[in-house]
């Protein structure tokens, strides 16, 4: 029987929403695996809107759900309506929207709060023993909500290849076990049914990011 997977988006665009290439890779790999996908996003305003040509915030306001519809080709549902019993797994792509719209990690780092509907969904999937897949910066959500979990955001030593490695240190400070992995690898926390991969936390060729996400999707579905 086809696995039913909820994909949780945070807008559209790397600097203020979902990383589009990561979302697309997740959807392609899920499609190839024969999974049935439904996309969700919070029905709330983004933290801010960023001009992606300049990398600077604008005065514009945008809605997370409406922006996520750009990726979902219109087929996206308010996250508040997600019924965990209707799904076998959930996957969350990265992008700064995770740290700005699904939480306020971008402002408060490890002292952040997770958006209430996001927190509820993660806790409900975990309590039901259903797997969670997360890539790029998204594992910070698990780090806040699942104390002591094992995860990866890539490497813990900053360099040109790994410009966001300080995130691993913040996750360790939260009591998580961070496992160093390359971009094409994943870490599977079997106890918590949590599968994570670094994706664009790494300055890597896009095909390597795509392949790593493919492993994450495969391992997530294996646990479902």
136 catalytic? Reply is: yes
| Residues present in the chain in total | 224
* Residue 50 to residue 121: CA distance in whole angstroms: 27
In this structure, are strands 56-57 and 50-51 parallel, antiparallel, or unpaired?
Answer: antiparallel
Which residues touch 171 (CB under 8 Å, ≥6 apart)?
Answer: 110, 139, 140, 143, 151, 153, 178
Per-residue tokens: 81: 């309506």
Which of 12, 112, 136, 149 is an active site residue? 136
Give the single-character DSSP code of 2: P
3-state SS, residue 122: helix
Please answer whether residues 76 and 39 qualify as being in contact, where contact means their C-beta atoms are separated by less than 8 angstroms: yes
The backbone torsions φ and ψ at residue 135, rounded to the nearest 5 degrees and listed phi first, read: -135, 165
By annotation, the residues acting in catalysis are 136
């Amino acid at each position: 029987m086809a696995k039913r997977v909820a994909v949780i988006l945070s807008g559209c665009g790397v600097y203020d929403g979902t990383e589009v290439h990561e979302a697309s890779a997740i959807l392609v790999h899920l499609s190839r695996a024969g999974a049935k996908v439904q996309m969700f996003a919070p029905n709330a305003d983004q933290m801010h809107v960023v001009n992606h040509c300049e990398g600077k915030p604008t005065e514009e306001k945008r809605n997370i759900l409406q922006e996520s519809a750009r990726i979902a080709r219109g087929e996206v549902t308010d996250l508040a309506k997600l019924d965990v019993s209707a799904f076998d797994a959930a996957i969350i792509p990265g992008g700064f929207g995770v740290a700005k719209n699904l939480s306020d990690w971008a402002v408060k780092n490890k002292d952040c709060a997770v958006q209430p509907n996001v927190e509820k969904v993660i806790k409900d999937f975990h309590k039901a023993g259903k797997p969670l897949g997360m890539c790029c910066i998204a594992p910070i959500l698990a780090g806040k909500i699942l104390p002591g979990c094992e995860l990866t955001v890539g490497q813990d030593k900053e360099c040109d290849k790994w410009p966001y490695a300080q995130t691993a240190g913040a996750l360790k400070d939260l009591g998580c076990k961070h496992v160093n992995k390359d971009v094409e690898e994943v870490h599977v926390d079997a106890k918590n049914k949590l599968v994570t991969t670094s994706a664009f936390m790494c300055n890597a060729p896009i095909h390597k990011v795509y392949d790593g996400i493919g492993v994450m999707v495969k391992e997530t579905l294996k646990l479902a």
